[in-house]
Structures are given as structure tokens and as C-alpha cells.
């Protein structure tokens, strides 16, 4: 029994709960990202106004809050947890786990936290280096802390934990190193590990953990375990209390290239799959694999809402998914049998999904033995930003991407070895060139689409600026809320997609919003600011003038007749410091470009063009001084500010990186917006 208002924690998370709280990542066990609240509706949303705002420190704010009993909880940056009064915006407490002291090289993959969890008077965050920390929800006092990762491997954690019937579920992340995916269940009261489900098999010589791993091993070839295999289930978990089943969405293979990872042979279970397991024991029940022999970084780690649909005149209990590969899947969640699958974006890697076998009918050229234009790309037709299923309209509201890339085998072959560091340029076994002329009419765009899952049909589309989609929430009031890279937070009609209201957030608002009520008043909350791996694409986002130092990172909360106003926007200073000692050295800069691409792009952007997650180094004084540069990059004097140290890079290579950054500062072409994420992802 919860100490808060005498309500059982599980009752808050049922799909038919009233909607006053948003106490889990998808609000409920079914992860629909839908609220039945209708006080704010299509008829009065023009009265929606800012109730309050709260300024936040620097760090990733592309994270979803939760709201329980009038308190908003969220974690930004590296699991820096805040509790805020939902009515007044007053900060009640904060907790910084000081991840930089323990994370080591894991901090090099710097996405930060996507969300947190609540259960029975406790708030839970999972740090980047895999520690689950339980906090007292009233005071923020740490209650216990337990590890879920090997401190010496290449994995880390970026996804939000879920709590299903008293069990906290968290998966590991890490598709840039030799990682073996796993999901771990922990007792939410004590921190005791209850079970672990491994996504891919390990070394056969050491024996398999269970029958599921022995079965999966038959679908692999070569010495895959030396590469880890991948499959990290970092984001997508759903729970069906009727059958006591946890559904796990799994990730891509590692390395990406099937020919390198598994000699081009076998389905490689359980990559790119949904796996159903017993919630009490973690025992395998069934699986459906969307991409047998996955070779494109086509993860199945996008949210998987549950629903009860009428299909062909019969009620069906289904799991829905819109993974990276661009098909919308309807799966019987009792049996795992595929019911239907149709493309929701432009797809050319497969012509269809064969419903008799459940397997894709692939375009052989898409496996890029020879260079081939493939769509979607590793960025996905849909990425991690959550979609929303609205049971009142029967529609799914989905942030979709349209992007093509020319893929080619990088020639690494059987001699390929995984990197020794957690980096963005980890040698995936293929090269991706995003500068393609035949990418389709909507290439490099994103959109909000309404999708009928029963008819598998597009109902409407709202084109979004550039290719940075935002998470969505839909409501019983006939509204769909979504932010954007263009600093506009909007409410759309759930019926036809008409924009009914918008607000200038002064900064990107691409985090998933939530809605809840306190004492009968409905609120809508979203965090502003930019982060995650999208920040690497600063070169294609220059029109938005995204500046780390001046970006308005805030919590914004709205209600009917809200009267608060934001302070004036602070305009960034785009000047570059004088560098009279700079001398061109194209050869050294070229060497530095490759090293920079591997270690620095994730935060500071391809081409040294940042997008707000970290400073734009072309405009920084730090690279001008060798002493200062080494103190920051090699020695880590800014680690408390979440700048990792790279003491594994040689002095020679650091000199090359410094030369490259200074060269880019003197390169006028770097100030021009491009449509390129870089040559290798």
C-alpha cells in the first residue's frame, strides 16, 4: 500500500486508471502515452497558458518527467533528479549522483537520462554507469544503490526504468562496443536482483544460461560472442498484468554488419525482436523477430503500446510497434503471432512483410554487399521518441522520420575487432553516406502522423521542420501535444491534425510531454532544451542557432488561463575568438578529423558544429591553448560539469584533434547548413 493517499501503486499504472497521475514512463503498464483527462480539450485549448516555469542547469533535458500526487519528478543530464511542486513550480529537492566519479569511459557515450520511475513512495533513477538508486520521494534521500552493469564492459544505461508490479526493469545500452544485451529485474523495495534475460547467446564453451539461449545459439555462426553480439534492450518494455508478461524490445546486432558479426549466416536471435517473458521468473515465452539477420542498426527498442482492438470483427489483445525499419506491426500479445504489418514511411529495404511466415521480403541489394541507397536508415523511420495510442479515436500518433543513406560494406571482414573504448565511431562494419540525391521527396524530414492500426492506414500528416521529431502525448480531450526543434510546443486536433494552439518555448522542446491533474485542474508539462544523439547533427540545424551556453533549459507547465510569461530570450554570441597563432596544417587536421569523429561528435557535433548539448568548440577559447586543452580533455578538470576525460588518447592524437577544431573555426564552409550527418555513423 502506498503511503500517498492510501492508493495501491499498481492501481495508478493500470490502463483504466483515472489519469490524475503520470506515474510511469508511458503513464500506465500498457505504455500508451495517453491520458483520459479532458478538461483541456479541442474546444478550449486556445485558453491554455503558462502556469509556471523553472530554469534548469546545463545538461541533457530531452527527458520525460513523471507526476504523482502533485509533485513532478524528473532526471536531467546524468541522472540529476529533481522534485518540483506541480502547482507552483517550487523546487522541493534535488539529488546529484555525481556520475562522473564512477562512470569512467562509460561517460564517453553521453546521452544522459531519458526518464525515471516511481513506486510506493520511492523515486528511482538509473545512472549512466548502471546503478539503480532508490530515493525517498518526499525528501530525495538515497535509500539504496545497486549495480546492474559490469564496470569494465562497454555498456551503459540511457533508457527509463519501468516498474511492473513491484519489479523494476532496466536494460543495458551500448551499440558502439562489444556488448551483450540484457534486461534485469530488481525488487523495487529491496534492490535485490530477481532475474536477468540475456538477449543473445554467449560463448558456447561456457554453457548457456537457459533453453532460450541454447535455442538462439543455433541461429548464429562464427565466433559472435567475441563481438558481444549486441541486442541491447535499452528502451522498450511493456507489461500485461492479465498474463503477468513483460515484453522486451531488443536492439541491433553488434557489429552492425551481419557478414562481420555472424559470417552472414543465421537469424541471430533475439536481435531486433520483441520477446515475451514471465514477469516473475524472466523465463522465455515467445518472440517475434522483425529483422532476421539484422544488418542495418534496425532496433526494435521503440515503445510498444498494448491495446485491445477489433480486427476482422474479432477482439484481439495486441502489442503494437513502429520500429526503426519503417513497418507498423500488430502482434497478438498472447501468442506472438504477427497479425499485420505495413510501412508507415517510405521503405525500400523490403517490399512487404509476408504474413504467412512473419518474415520480411527483402530487397537483396539492401544488404549492401555493393553500395546501395537504403531507407529508412539507422536513424529509423521511428526512433526512441514515444508515440501515443488514443483508445477514444482508435489512432496512433507517431513521430516519423524520412531519411535515406548510401550504405556500403567497409571491408573490415573477418579481421574486424571491436573498439576498446565507448565511442560513437565504434566501427559498425558498414559506412553510411547521407548525401544522396535519390532519397525520395521527403528525405531529411520528420512528421507527426496519425495512423489507423486496424486498417494500417495513414489518416493525416503534419510536416515538421527538419529531421528532429519530438515525443507525443494524446488526451481524452481530443488533443495531441508535441514540441519541436523550432521552439514551438503545439496542440493538434486528434481528429484531423489541425494545429489548435502553440507556444514559443525559446528553445527546442523535443522531450515527451505529460499531462496530469492536481485538485481538479489539468496541467501539461514539457522540458525544453536539446540533447541525445540528435545533437551530433549540428551542421544540419544551424538555422535554429542552438547554443549550449544560452539555451533555455526549463520545465514548462501549462494550464487553462495560465498567466505566467517567460523572461526575454538570451541571444547567443556567435563570434569566434581571435587565434593569431593558428597555422594551417591540412595533413594534421585531416588526422584530427578522424579522431574527432570517433570521440567527440556525439556531444560537439559532426564537423565541430554543435547543437546545444555541449559547447561549439569553434567558438571556444579552450582549443587555443595547448595547456588548457590538455587539462580539459586529457586530465578531466571539467568532469564535474559532465565533460569526460579522454586519457586514453595519445598526446599526438590530441594535438591533431586540436588542430582540426582550430581549422574548422577558420573554415567559413563550416558555418553553412548542410544535409549531412557525416560519412560514418
Residue 466 annotated as lining a ligand binding site: no
Coil, strand or helix: which one is 245? strand
Q: Which helix (H) or strand (E) holds 673?
A: none
Residue 666 annotated as lining a ligand binding site: no
Active site residue 297: yes
Interatomic CA distance for residues 296 and 404, integer angstroms: 12
The dihedral sign for the CA sequence 323, 325, 328, 332: negative
Q: Are 333 and 287 in contact (CB under 8 A)?
A: no
Residue 114 annotated as lining a ligand binding site: yes
Q: Which helix (H) or strand (E) holds 590?
A: helix 586-599
Residue 297 annotated as lining a ligand binding site: yes
Annotated catalytic residue, options 15, 21, 175, 297: 297
Residue 232 annotated as lining a ligand binding site: yes
What grid cell was written down for 358?
512473419
Q: Are 213 and 241 in contact (CB under 8 A)?
A: no
Coil, strand or helix: which one is 637? coil
Residue 643 annotated as lining a ligand binding site: yes
Interatomic CA distance for residues 250 and 388, integer angstroms: 20
Start-to-end C-alpha separation, the chain: 48
Q: Which of 392, 681, 672, 532 is nearest to 109 (CA)?
A: 532
- Please list, in sequence order, all residues whose beta carbon lies within 8 angstroms of the beta carbon of residue 574, skipping any fewer than 6 positions away: 545, 547, 619
Q: Are 612 and 509 in contact (CB under 8 A)?
A: no
Pairing relationship of beta strands 306-311 and 34-35 according to DSSP bridges: unpaired
Interatomic CA distance for residues 40 and 523, integer angstroms: 8
Coil, strand or helix: which one is 579? coil
Residue 383 annotated as lining a ligand binding site: yes
Residue 604 annotated as lining a ligand binding site: yes
Residue 384 annotated as lining a ligand binding site: yes
Residue 184 annotated as lining a ligand binding site: no
Secondary structure string (H, E, C) spanning 60-86: CCCCECEEECCEEEEEECCCEEEEEEC
Q: Which residues participate in catalysis according to the annotation?
A: 297
Known binding residues are 114, 158, 232, 252, 297, 324, 383-384, 600, 603-604, 643
Binding-site residues for heme c sit at: 600, 603-604, 643
Residue positions forming the annotated binding site for Ca(2+) = 252, 297
Amino acid at each position: 500500500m502506498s503511503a500517498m493517499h492510501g492508493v495501491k501503486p499498481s492501481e495508478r499504472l493500470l490502463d483504466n486508471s483515472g489519469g490524475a497521475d503520470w506515474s510511469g514512463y508511458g503513464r500506465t503498464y500498457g505504455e500508451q502515452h495517453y491520458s483520459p483527462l479532458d478538461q483541456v480539450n479541442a474546444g478550449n485549448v486556445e485558453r491554455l497558458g503558462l502556469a509556471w516555469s523553472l530554469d534548469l542547469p546545463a545538461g541533457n533535458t530531452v527527458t520525460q518527467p513523471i507526476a504523482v500526487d502533485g509533485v513532478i519528478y524528473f532526471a536531467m543530464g546524468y541522472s540529476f533528479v529533481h522534485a518540483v511542486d506541480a502547482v507552483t513550480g517550487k523546487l522541493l529537492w534535488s539529488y546529484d549522483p555525481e556520475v562522473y566519479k564512477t562512470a569512467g569511459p562509460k561517460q564517453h557515450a553521453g546521452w544522459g537520462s531519458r526518464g525515471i520511475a516511481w513506486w510506493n513512495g520511492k523515486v528511482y533513477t538509473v545512472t549512466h554507469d548502471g546503478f539503480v538508486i532508490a530515493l525517498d520521494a518526499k525528501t530525495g534521500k538515497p535509500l539504496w544503490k545497486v549495480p546492474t552493469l559490469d564496470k569494465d564492459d562497454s555498456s551503459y544505461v540511457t533508457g527509463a526504468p519501468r516498474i511492473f508490479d513491484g519489479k523494476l526493469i532496466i536494460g543495458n545500452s551500448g551499440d558502439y562496443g562489444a556488448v551483450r544485451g540484457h534486461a534485469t529485474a530488481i525488487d523495487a523495495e529491496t534492490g535485490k536482483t530477481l532475474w536477468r534475460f540475456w538477449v543473445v547467446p554467449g560463448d558456447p564453451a561456457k554453457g548457456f544460461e537457459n533453453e532460450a539461449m541454447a535455442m538462439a545459439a543455433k541461429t548464429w555462426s562464427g565466433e559472435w560472442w567475441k563481438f558481444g553480439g549486441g541486442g541491447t534492450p535499452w528502451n522498450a518494455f511493456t507489461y500485461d498484468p492479465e498474463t503477468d508478461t513483460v515484453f522486451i524490445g531488443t536492439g541491433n546486432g553488434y557489429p552492425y554488419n551481419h557478414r562481420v558479426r555472424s559470417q552472414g549466416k543465421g537469424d541471430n536471435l533475439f536481435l531486433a525482436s520483441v520477446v515475451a517473458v514471465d514477469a516473475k521468473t524472466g523465463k522465455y515465452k515467445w518472440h517475434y523477430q522483425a529483422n532476421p539477420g539484422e544488418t542495418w542498426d534496425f532496433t526494435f527498442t521503440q515503445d510498444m503500446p498494448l491495446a485491445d482492438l477489433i480486427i476482422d470483427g474479432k477482439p484481439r489483445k495486441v502489442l503494437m510497434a513502429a520500429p526503426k525499419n519503417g513497418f507498423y506491426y500488430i502482434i497478438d500479445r498472447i501468442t506472438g503471432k504477427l497479425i499485420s504489418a505495413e510501412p508507415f514511411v517510405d521503405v525500400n529495404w523490403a517490399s512487404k512483410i509476408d504474413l504467412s511466415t512473419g518474415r520480411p521480403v527483402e530487397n537483396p541489394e539492401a544488404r549492401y554487399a555493393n553500395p546501395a541507397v537504403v531507407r529508412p536508415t539507422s536513424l529509423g523511420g521511428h526512433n526512441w521518441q514515444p508515440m501515443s495510442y488514443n483508445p477514444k479515436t482508435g489512432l496512433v500518433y507517431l513521430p516519423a522520420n524520412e531519411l535515406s543513406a548510401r550504405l556500403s560494406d567497409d571491408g573490415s571482414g573477418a579481421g574486424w575487432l571491436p573498439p576498446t573504448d565507448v565511442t560513437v565511431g565504434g566501427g559498425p562494419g558498414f559506412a553510411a553516406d547521407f548525401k544522396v540525391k535519390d532519397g525520395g521527396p521527403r528525405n531529411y524530414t520528420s512528421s507527426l502522423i496519425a495512423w489507423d492500426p486496424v486498417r494500417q492506414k495513414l489518416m493525416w500528416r503534419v510536416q515538421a521542420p527538419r529531421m528532429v521529431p519530438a515525443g507525443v502525448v494524446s488526451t481524452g480531450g481530443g488533443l495531441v501535444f508535441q514540441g519541436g526543434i523550432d521552439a514551438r510546443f503545439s496542440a493538434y486536433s486528434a481528429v484531423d491534425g489541425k494545429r489548435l494552439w502553440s507556444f514559443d518555448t525559446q528553445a527546442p522542446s523535443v522531450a515527451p510531454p505529460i499531462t496530469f491533474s492536481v485538485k481538479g485542474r489539468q496541467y501539461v508539462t514539457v522540458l525544453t532544451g536539446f540533447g541525445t544523439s540528435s545533437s551530433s547533427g549540428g551542421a544540419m540545424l544551424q538555422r535554429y542557432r542552438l547554443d549550449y551556453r544560452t539555451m533555455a533549459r526549463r520545465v514548462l507547465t501549462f494550464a487553462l488561463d495560465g498567466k505566467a510569461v517567460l523572461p526575454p530570450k538570451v541571444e547567443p554570441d556567435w563570434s569566434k575568438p581571435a587565434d593569431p597563432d593558428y597555422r594551417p596544417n591540412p595533413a594534421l587536421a585531416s588526422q584530427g578529423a578522424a579522431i574527432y569523429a570517433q570521440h567527440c561528435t556525439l556531444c560537439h557535433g559532426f564537423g565541430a558544429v554543435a547543437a546545444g548539448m555541449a559547447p561549439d568548440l569553434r567558438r571556444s577559447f579552450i582549443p587555443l591553448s595547448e595547456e588548457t586543452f590538455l587539462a580539459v580533455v586529457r586530465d578531466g578538470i571539467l568532469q564535474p560539469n559532465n565533460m569526460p576525460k579522454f586519457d586514453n588518447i595519445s598526446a599526438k592524437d590530441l594535438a591533431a584533434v586540436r588542430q582540426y577544431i582550430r581549422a574548422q573555426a577558420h573554415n567559413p564552409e563550416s558555418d553553412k547548413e548542410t544535409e549531412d550527418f557525416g560519412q560514418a555513423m
